[in-house]
Amino acid sequence: MATKELKTYTLAEMKDRYIGKVGTKERDDYEYELRMDVLGKMIKAARQEQNLTQEELGKLVGVRKAQISKLENSANSATIDTIVKVFKALKAEINFNVKLENNFVKLV
């Protein structure tokens, strides 16, 4: 009895197939959500490293505990201003890179 060889796929191939090709709205939305999720996890880790509660961080930033919770669970509803305030309150350095065509513009 012959065994059938299984076809393997890369992660990129699976994303292209099930989410959409790079440059499509679906893929852009997916990549954006993924980055925002990582950003929220970074905020939570930095807060915990500083031994702050969500309520304490909220007071430092000038927002309610619920907003910190939302930010940590999905940063896509936050403004850049709020994110910068959170990292400043955490005494964390944050850098943004903006790519214009083939050139990077660094914002510190």
Give the global pTM: 0.67
**Confidence at 50, pLDDT banded by 50, 70, 90:** very high
Q: What is the CATH number of the domain that holds 35?
A: 1.10.260.40
Q: Note whether residue 50 is domain-resident.
A: yes
Which residue range forms the structural domain that includes residue 35? Answer: 15-107
Checking if the pLDDT of 107 tops 70, the result is no
Q: Note whether residue 55 is domain-resident.
A: yes
Checking if the pLDDT of 104 tops 90, the result is no
The total number of structural domains in the chain stands at 1
Q: Note whether residue 8 is domain-resident.
A: no
CA dihedral over 75, 73, 36, 108, signed as positive or negative = positive
Q: Note whether residue 10 is domain-resident.
A: no
Q: Note whether residue 98 is domain-resident.
A: yes
Residue of 14, 19, 43 lying closest to 32 (CA atoms)? 19
